[in-house]
Amino acid sequence: MPSRIKIKRRIGEPTLIDHVEAMHHALADSREDFLKYVRKNLPRVYEDIEKILDSKGEEVVLRSLRVIESGQRIYPPQ
């Protein structure tokens, strides 16, 4: 029987899906809001996210965030 991996989180610490939802809402508002959110909350990935946004475009990134969100709702973590 496989053991479950327990992840210790601090109370109030955002999960990955929290960040995905926040990025989705920020990008739906504007590119600038999205990049501000990423710079503030996910500084390690800011440059990579900016490159993806520049090369793929806002619509592709927005659609990708929606797919991640919908998959999370269908298959919630256990």
**How far, in Å, CA of 37 to CA of 34, rounded?**
5
Q: Which tens digits make up the pLDDT trace of 35-61?
A: 999 999 999 999 999 999 999 999 999
Higher pLDDT, 75 or 63: 63
Contact 44, 55 (CB under 8 A): no
Q: What is the pLDDT of residue 15?
A: 84
Checking if the pLDDT of 1 tops 50, the result is no
Checking if the pLDDT of 5 tops 60, the result is no
Single pTM value for the model: 0.74
Residue 27 is classified by DSSP as H
**How far, in Å, CA of 8 to CA of 67, rounded?**
26
- Burial of residue 46, with CB atoms counted within 10 A of its CB: 0-12 exposed, 13-18 middle, 19 or more buried: middle
Q: Which tens digits make up the pLDDT trace of 7-33?
A: 455 666 788 889 999 999 999 999 999
